[in-house]
A and B are shown apart, each in its own frame.
Chain A
């Protein structure tokens, strides 16, 4: 009886924690970044796909760029620069799971920006890159 209660309780807890990470769309995440930048700079002219593409492919004073692992075509499968493990495509057009969870996106920006730019990325940089990634079409493979 107690075990059954525990099992149901665990099930409910799991369900709640799963739904706590509300699914979002890449466009919604991008909108969130835009709102954040605008809150600090009312004259912000908007994100730039081209700036995002450059940022993604450039090296920023250290060994790796974003493209080192995600490749210059983020609609294709990438490969971890050290471990060699396959990385699923980053562009939402090629991988519907990408940028559908704000916390997950922030986690990876936090980790990877430190590896690529040796600091946290600014919200504008994240927005530029996300807008670029959204612009990459699967046909570009």
Chain B
């Protein structure tokens, strides 16, 4: 094999590897997004009537515990539950809570939208987009993530209201 052909062969091999690697990473990322389900009927019914039943994976267990302990003052509203619902919803959220880099640096905030992960994922969304009447704010996932109610936050299903 001549030097030129060897070089071309190496380049092709390198390109194919890089593309395959990227595809694998993308596939992994999509698969992990698909896993963001909110599979507890009581959680859906009790919390999902005022806001999307946010995926429990997006906050650490400590944050969910603090949210469940302060439902009488839940971001400006009374969201109290009866004892049985509180016990079931609380253990579901804590059990399915996020770990690792998605909740890293979540700090003391109880807001998913303040986690470094959320900020990073939405860095290209400008302030005026959040303020649009059809959006209303970063907590309204389903405004843009059309399949969010099904736990699917895949970027392909994002439609930003005008």
Contacts and interface: CB of A to CB of B under 8 A. Distances in A.
Contacts of B80: 110-111
Contacts of A112: 78
B51 interface: yes
Contacts of B31: none
Interface string A90-109: 00000000000001000100
Interface string B18-52: 00000000000000000000000000000001111
A115 B136 contact: no
Interface residues of A, number: 13
Nearest to A103: B82
A48 B153 CA distance: 47
Interface stretch (B59-67, B90-98, B101-109, B137-145): B137-145
B87 interface: no
Main secondary structure of the interface of B (DSSP, over half): loop
A110 B78 contact: yes
A129 to B, nearest CB: 17
A26 B115 CA distance: 43
Contact of B136 (A83, A110, A114): A83
B6 to A, nearest CB: 60
A83 B51 CA distance: 6
A82 interface: yes
Interface string B45-87: 0000111100000000000000000001001111110100000
Most A Cβ at <10 Å: residue of B50, B72, B135, B142 = B50
B82 A84 contact: no
A115 B78 CA distance: 6
Contacts of B136: 83-84
Given A85-B51, A87-B49, A111-B77, 14 more contacts: A80-B50, A82-B76, A83-B50, A83-B51, A83-B136, A83-B137, A84-B135, A84-B143, A85-B49, A85-B140, A85-B142, A107-B82, A110-B80, A111-B78
Interface of A: 80, 82-85, 87, 103, 107, 110-112, 114-115
6 contacts: A80-B50, A80-B51, A82-B77, A82-B139, A83-B50, A83-B136
Closest 5 CB pairs of A and B: A84-B136, A114-B78, A83-B51, A111-B78, A84-B140
